[in-house]
Amino acid sequence: KNCKIFTVIFRDMEGSLTARDRVGIQDFVLLDAYTSETAFMDNLRKRFNENLIYTYIGTLLVSVNPYKELGIYTKKQMDIYMGVNFFELPPHIFALADNVYRTMISETNNHFILISGESGAGKTEASKTVLQFYAVCCPSTRLLDNVRDRLLLSNPVLEAFGNAKTLKNDNSSRFGKYMDIQFDHQGAAVGGHILSYLLEKSRVVHQNRGERNFHIFYQLVEGGEDELLRWLGLERNCQKYRYLIQGECAKVSSINDKSDWKTVQKALTIIEFSEKDIEHLFAIIASVLHLGNVHFEASAHGYATLNSSAEVHWLSKVLSTDTSISIYHFQVLSPFTAEHAKYARDALAKAIYGRTFSWLVNKINESLANKDSTRKTVIGLLDIYGFEVFDVNSFEQFCINFCNEKLQQLFIQLTLKSEQEEYEMEGIEWEPVPYFNNKIICDLVEEKHRGIISILDEECLRPGEATDFTFLEKLEEKMCGHPHFVTHKLADPKTRKTLERGDFRLLHYAGEVTYSVVGKFHLMQTVATQFKSSLAGLTEILMTKEPWYVRCLKPNHCKQPDHFDDVMVRHQVKYLGLMEHLRVRRAGFAYRRRYEVFLKRYKALCPDTWPHWKGTPAEGVQRLIKHLGYKPDEYKMGRTKIFIRHPRTLFATEDAFEICKHELATRIQAKYKGYRVKGEYQRKREAATKIETCWRGLQARKERERRAWAVKVIKKFIKGFINRNQPVSMDNSEYLAFVRQSYLTRLKENLPKSVLDKTSWLTPPPIMQEASVLLRKLHTRLIVRKYVRGISAQQKVQLQIKALTSYIFKGRKENYPQSVSLCSLFVYSGEQDINIRVLQLICPEGIKYSVPVIKYDRNGFRPRFRQLIFTQAAAYLVEEAKIKQRVNYSSLKGVSVSDLSDNFLILHVTCEDTKQKGDLVLQCSYLFEALTKICVVTKNHNLIKIVQGSVRFDIQPGKEGFVDFKSSSESMVYRAKNGHLMVVSPHNAMHTTL
C-alpha cells in the first residue's frame, strides 16, 4: 500500500519541463530565443495544433480559444491539479486557480485574477471555469453548498440579462463584471459580491446586422410558458418585436433559447428570487418589447402622433411631449416631432432595462451576502469586455476601449514594474528592459482639465447650445499636436481621406480606433464621468490585492476549430504586451523559485539534503547546487530565491530528477517488501484485526439500541395519530404535544406583517383552533399597538384630515380615486409664498393655508392668477401685495364643485353685504386639499356641495351667471355662446391634485 502511495506521489510530480521535447515549451520563460516573436508564435502554434491551449509566462497563463470541447475540465482533472505545486503539472487554468487559492489560505491575504482579451477569446468561459473549480475544491457543508450553488448559478442569470450574440462571439459579455468570492479561515466559500460596469444599453434598441439583443428577450419569447406569455401579452414569435429583429438573426443554431430559459428559471429560484420578484422582472422585460413596437407618425403640423389605441393614451403624452413646470406649478406641454418621440421611446426603453439590470445585480448580491462579520479573505474575478473595433464606434465603444486601456496600465504597474522590482528586492543585478507605458493614452482620455472626458464635461456645461461638432472643435483645439489623437481637420492629406468630418481617431495600445461623435455623443457627459469614477474605484480595489493574469487569445475570426491565423494572433500578442512580459521575466535569468520550493523538489539529488535537511532552505539549496556542479555564471542566490540563468541548466537538473525518482521508488519498494517478511508485520496485523473486531462490535450494539429506540418512537407516534381526535390520554398526549409545538413553531416563522394581511395566518389543527383564534387576536392587537405607538401627533392630525377628505368626496367626485395615491400630508401652510405686506395685514388672524389659484372674472370670465389664503376668521383673494377680496366665514354660504374630474370651485357669499363683490369662480390645482382645509377652518363639514351639470352663481345682487360642466376627451375652459362658462374635463383623467 505504501509503495503505491509513493508511486502516485512521483507520478503526480511529473514536471511540465519533462514534456518540453514532446510538444514545444510549456513555459515561454524557458524559450531559448525568448526575444524572437517568430519563436514565440511557433511555440504557441505547435501547442495549439496538439490541443494544448494553455502556456505559461512565469505565473501568467496564456489561453487560446479552441472553439471545441477538449474534455479537460472534468472532476478528475480538478482532483489532479488540487494541491499540486504550480509548475509540477502541464499548464492549466486549474493550476492557476489552485495556486491562487492555496496562496490566499497560507498567507491570509486577498488576490484577484484578471481575465483579459478580445471579445470571443474565451474570457467568460475562463471565469466560469475558475468559479467551478472553487465550488469543487472548497470544504463542503449543507450551508456552504447553498453558497456554492448561488455563486455558480449567478452566472447564467447575469449572462441571460447581460450577454448577447455579436459578430465575434455567440455569448459576448456586454457589461463588465467583477466578482469577489469570500472565504473563511478554513478556506470555505461563504459569500460573494458582484460589481457591474457599463452595461451596453444601446443594444436594447439597436443591433448591427448579424447580432442579437440580450439573450433574455429571446429566451422569454421562445421558452416562456404559454400562460406566462398570455399574461404578458406576448406572442411566441420574435419577428413580432422590432427590438429583436434589427440584426436579422433572431434564431441562431448554436444557441438553444428554450433550454437556457429553463436554466435561468431554476437559477432564479435557487438564488432566492420570490415568485413576485420573478413576475415583476419578466413583466418589465415584456414591457420593453411592447415599448419597441410603439410607432409614431408625423401629424399635419409636423408633430408626433401615436398610432395606437386609447389604452395607451398616457403613453402618447409621455413620449410625444416635453413637460415643464411654470412658476405657478402649472404644466406646459411642448409637442415633439416624430423623430424626437422615437428617441424618447428608445431612451425610456434603455433606462428601464438599465435600472432592471442594476436591480438584478443588487438582488443577487443580497443572496450572496455573507452574514458573518468575522474577517474574510477574498479572491476577485475580473471578466471585462474586450478591446473591439467596429465599422462605426460609438460612445459606449469609447468607454469599453478606455477600460481596456486602464487595465493594460494596471497590468504594466502590477506586473512589468513589479517584475523588475523583484530583482532589486532580491539583490540581483540586471539591466532594465524598456517597455511601452500607455499612461500617455490614459491621460489623453482622463486627465483632469485636459482629457477628453473633462473636455466633454466642460462643453456640456458651457453657456449656449452644445452639439457633437462643438465638442469635436473643442477637442481639436485642446489636443492639437498630440501623437495619439487626430481628426479630419488635424490629419495630413493622406490620413484625412480615411476620416469623416465628425470623427476623431485615437491610437490605443491595441491599435487605431476611429470614433464618431455624431449621434448624441455630447449628451453622454454624466455617463462618461460616472464610468471614469467606476474605473478609478475598480483600480483601487485591485491595487489592494495580489494580481494573477489570464491572457485569452482568439486563433481566428471565424470561430473555427483547428485554425490558427498567424496575423491575427500576432496582433493580439503584441497589444497584450506578452513579449514585453517575457523579456522582463527573462532579463538575465530564465527561472526563479523560492528556496523552500526548489529544495523540496530536487533534494533527492544530493545525499546531504535527502531525505531531511536540518539547516535553512538557502543553505540546503547551496549544498544541492554545489553537488550538481552549477557554474558561478549559471545562477545567482537572492535573499529568498534562487535565480537560474539558462534553461539548459534547469533541463539538466530536471532530467537528473527523472532518473533519481525511479531509483527512489525501487529502493522504497524493496525496503517495504523486506519489512513484510519480518514477524513484526504479522503481529501488528493481528492486533489491528482484533481492534477492528472490537470496534465493529461496539458500533453494531449502538446501532441496535438506536433502532430499538426509533421503533418505539415511531409506534408511539402512529398510535397518537390514530387517537388524535380522542380526549387527552397516555396514547396521544405526546403526539398532541408535538402537534401543538410544531404548529406554534411554524406560526412563529409565518406571522402576518400587517393588519391588512388576512391570508397568511396558518390553518390550525383541530386541537389548536381555539388557541389560534386567541393568538390571532393578540397578534393583531400587537401590530396595531406598534403601529399606533409609532405615529406622531402630527401624523394623527394628518390622518384625521385625510379621513375627512374621504368622507366628503369618496364616491361623489370622479377624480377622487386617482388623487388618493398622490395626496400629500396636509402640512403645507404656504406662508413663505405670501407677500410680506399682505402677511403683515392678515398675520394676526392666524394663517392656516395658502394656495395658488386662477380666478375667473364674473363678467367675461377672463382668467387671472391669484392667491387664496385661509385665516382663522376669513378667506382672502390676493394679487401679489394687494388684497382683492375678503370673505368672512360668516358670509360664506357654501362651496360648489362638480362631480366630474375638473378642478373648479365656486365660493358662494352673501350678496347683501355691500363689501362683498359677488361669488368667486376659482380653478385650483390642489382642489381636494383646499376644500378640506376650508371645512376644517370653518368647522363646517357640510359646507361642500357636489353638483351635476351646471352651477348658478351671483355676479352681483340681482344678476346671476352659470358655470356648465361636461366630460370630453380633452380638457378645455371657454365662454360658451349662451354666455355661460363652459368647463370641459377628460373622463377619468389622471390629475396632479391630492
Question: Which residues are tagged catalytic?
Answer: 119-120, 124, 169, 172-173, 386, 388
Q: What torsion do the CA atoms of 122, 123, 127, 130 make, to the nearest 10 degrees? A: 60
693 appears as a binding residue in the annotation: no
Write a three-state SS string for 622-667: HHHHHHHCCCHHHEEECCCEEEECCHHHHHHHHHHHHHHHHHHHHH
Q: Give CA–CA dist 14/207, Å, rounded.
A: 50
The x, y and z cell numbers of residue 643, run together, are 535565480
918 appears as a binding residue in the annotation: no
Q: Give CA–CA dist 699/543, Å, rounded.
A: 55
DSSP assignment, residue 33? T
The x, y and z cell numbers of residue 478, run together, are 485642446
Q: Give CA–CA dist 15/905, Å, rounded.
A: 92
End-to-end distance of the chain based on CA atoms, in angstroms?
A: 85
Give the chain's radius of gyration (CA, Å).
40
Residue 218 and residue 244 in contact, taking contact as beta carbons nearer than 8 Å: yes
- Sheet with 847-856, strands from edge to edge, namely 882-888, 874-879, 863-871, 847-856, 920-923, 904-909, 892-898, 944-947
Could you please report the per-residue DSSP string of 854-908? EEEPTTT--EEEEEEEEESSEEEEEETTEEEEEEEGGGEEEEEEESSS--EEEEE
Which residues 6+ apart lie within 8 Å of 814 measured at CB?
A: 899, 900, 901, 987, 988
Which residues 6+ apart lie within 8 Å of 819 measured at CB?
A: 928, 991, 993, 994
Q: Give CA–CA dist 332/527, Å, rounded.
A: 29
Which residues 6+ apart lie within 8 Å of 353 measured at CB?
A: 199, 201, 204, 214, 288
790 appears as a binding residue in the annotation: no
Q: Give CA–CA dist 149/154, Å, rounded.
A: 8
- Residue 844, judged by CB atoms within 10 A of its CB (0-12, 13-18, 19+), counts as exposed
Residue 104 and residue 377 in contact, taking contact as beta carbons nearer than 8 Å: yes
For residue 567, count other CB atoms closer than 10 A to its CB: 6
Q: Give CA–CA dist 516/398, Å, rounded.
A: 10
Q: Are strands 111-116 and 546-553 parallel, antiparallel or unpaired?
A: parallel
122 appears as a binding residue in the annotation: yes
121 appears as a binding residue in the annotation: yes
629 appears as a binding residue in the annotation: no
451 appears as a binding residue in the annotation: no
162 appears as a binding residue in the annotation: no
For residue 404, count other CB atoms closer than 10 A to its CB: 22
Binding residues for ATP: 117-124
Residues of each annotated binding site:
117-124
